Chains A and B, each alone.
Chain A
Amino acid sequence: MAYLSIVALIPLAAVLFKSLDGGLDSFWTAISTPQAIAALCLTLIASVIVVLINAVTGTLIAWVLVRDEFRGKGFVNSLIDLPFALPTIVAGLTLLAFYGQDSPVGVNVAFTKVSVVLALLFVTLPFVVRAVQPVLLELDTEMEEAAESLGAGKFTVFRRIILPNLMPAIIAGGGLAFARAVGEFGSLVLITGNVPFDTQVASVFIFAQVESDNPIGAAAVSVVLLVVALVVLLFFGLLSKKALRHEE
């Protein structure tokens, strides 16, 4: 507990206190500057988009990895964890190599809002896949077969039988992905160009405030990010539990 306090809790408390150094008014002023609002909005919107895309692609990938058989599946399966293992700055450089100015296929999204979403998709790839996979493995095919024998089409089986069973896992994975996306920094530094009012996300904004010696502004936006991440984790946790209960 003491270790936890020294390493994590006391520093976080310091952020909270610093953000309130000048009273609530200056806290409010700090987070309502146009640049701070633009950065926070971009972060939240991009994160929502990323979670929605992940919910679809993550479920799809998990499905293919569990129900499909093909050569090299084991390799693909371990490839999923690569975004976790790869340092974030390398992740950014990696995407820049293919989707940047020197792109061999001429797709240049560097310094645009698309690049923000792209980088976040890369770093959050494993969350939904790894949450859905074990549930899909456990899922009995009997129910699906019963539904099919009763005349349900493939789509109906998926929508009425499989999806409700996977929902808690998709939501739980999505929550983790959202928390990660909101705070992401390393992979965005190189590819987004950090243009204020355009491609500057909240974490990069905080970094800029630290560099330009505005600790109160940095701390205030940090507190907003922290609260958003905690609320989302809590909310998605509850939602996932509710979906579980619904299933029973």
Chain B
Amino acid sequence: MRSKYTLRFLALGYLVLLVGIPVVLVFINAFQDGIAAAWGSVTTPEAQHAFYMTVVMVVVAVPLNTIFGVLCALAIVRQRFRGRALLNAMVDLPFAVSPVVVGLALLLVYGRRDGWIGEWLAERGIQVIFSTPGMILATMFVSLPFVVREVIPVLREIGTEQEQAAATLGAGRFQTFFRVTLPAIRWGVAYGVVLTTARALGEFGAVSVVSGKLSGRTETLPLFVENRYQRFDETAAYAASVVLALLALATLVAMNLIKPKEARG
């Protein structure tokens, strides 16, 4: 019996020291000069713009990756074509790549001086690096695999019987997809979307390489946190962190709400 409590104590103690206390402390530090100071520091024009940029990242990257994720999962599970195994392996690639390398990679394609097509784009007045499109590309890159990974097991699980039944009853491919397949995988998709959103909200490394960190222009909320901290404006750094941490907690709640539904199908 005693060993049971020892194990519990060790496990919980480790979690409290590594995660619990530090996270609580961020909240305390954010409000150490009072709620008004914290609120004031996250409602400055720079902070508001950073929040807006973060929302832009999510609003563009998440729908694109969701559509790609569902199509890609369908292709991997339901179709037989050459290179299927390769595609399956490639989808996970962004997980194995450091965020900084992602940023560098985009720089080497779209960058004005070093990039393959940077000059060509610049002549046409399109700026990708140090502006919003590059940051969106970076966000898309790092959050690419989530929906695919969540949808593939669900698709395997539900099998093709219902789809075949729908097809024999005269449903077209689109009708089958929207009336049969999509409802069956909806919770898998939802779970993937939540994970994608969390990653898109919080991406720092990749975005920081391609953004140029122009305060008030190409700064997302995570970049804003770093910027404020480096400038010894700790209240703003901690307050913005609290905003991000609250979004992360919302993600956790959403995950916990969706997970049991996903298991039930």
Contact = CB atoms under 8 A, between A and B. Distances in A.
Interface of A: 1, 3-4, 7-12, 14-15, 17-18, 57, 60-61, 63-65, 68, 70, 76, 78-90, 93-95, 97-99, 104, 118, 121-122, 125, 154, 176, 179-180, 182-186, 189-190, 202-204, 206-207, 210, 215, 218-219, 222, 225-226, 229-230, 233
Contact of B98 (A4, A8, A82, A222): A222
Describe B's contact surface by its main secondary structure: helix
Nearest to A215: B114
B22 interface: yes
A226 B68 contact: no
Contact of A230 (B29, B68, B96, B221): B96
Interface of B: 3-4, 7-8, 10-12, 14-15, 18-23, 25-26, 29, 64, 68, 72, 83, 87, 90-91, 93-109, 114-116, 137, 140-141, 144, 195, 198, 201-205, 208-209, 221-223, 225-226, 229, 237-238, 241, 244-245, 248-249, 251-252, 255-256
Nearest to B75: A1
A185 B205 contact: yes
B90 A9 contact: yes
Contact of A4 (B21, B91, B229): B91
A206 B100 contact: yes
Contacts of B101: 12, 15, 183, 203, 206, 222, 225-226
A93 B8 CA distance: 28
Given A15-B104, A64-B7, A98-B22, 8 more contacts: A64-B12, A83-B19, A90-B202, A97-B25, A104-B25, A204-B100, A210-B104, A219-B108
Contacts of A204: 100
A76 B97 contact: no
Contact of A189 (B94, B226, B245): B226
A64 B96 contact: no
Nearest to B98: A183
A58 to B, nearest CB: 10
Nearest to B242: A90
Contacts of A183: 96-101
Given A87-B244, A89-B222, A183-B98, A79 B20 contact: yes
Nearest to A80: B15
A218 B87 CA distance: 27
B11 A64 contact: yes
B105 A11 contact: yes
Contacts of A97: 22, 25-26, 29, 238
10 contacts: A1-B87, A3-B68, A4-B90, A9-B93, A64-B12, A76-B15, A98-B21, A183-B101, A189-B204, A190-B226
